[in-house]
Amino acid sequence: MAFYQGERPIGTPAAVDANIEKLEEIVHAVKKYDTQLVSFPELYLEGYSLTREVLLQLAEPAPGPSISRVAAIAKANHIRIVWPYAERDDSGEEVRFYDSIALL
């Protein structure tokens, strides 16, 4: 098992893309040690300091495009990934946001 905790860009679509690229880099690094599971910090892609405006822009439904990308990384590398993310739920009368976690 491996845990990643490191600095990263936050709060923009470009940051989300960069953080997925970093996630894949970390997965490749820990696979060298025969790691079976890697865990990332809370709100890894978006960043922890989120305003409502940033949430409206970056939070995704479950499953969303980022989950699909991270799931593909997990599958290609035969590893499980614990991946926290900002979830957006549009199913009710008002938009709701959740601090969610996926096991891929």
pLDDT at 100: 94
What average pLDDT does this structure show over 17-41?
A: 96
pLDDT at 30: 97
Note the CATH number of domain 2-103.
Answer: 3.60.110.10
pLDDT recorded at residue 26: 97
Query: Whole-prediction pTM value?
Result: 0.90
* E strands present in the chain: 2-3, 37-39, 80-89, 96-103
User: CB of 90 within 8 A of CB of 64?
Assistant: no
Give me the pLDDT at residue 68, please.
95
Domain ranges of the chain: 2-103
32-44 residue pLDDT tens: 999 999 999 998 9
For residues 43 and 33, give the distance between their C-alpha atoms in angstroms, rounded to a whole number.
26
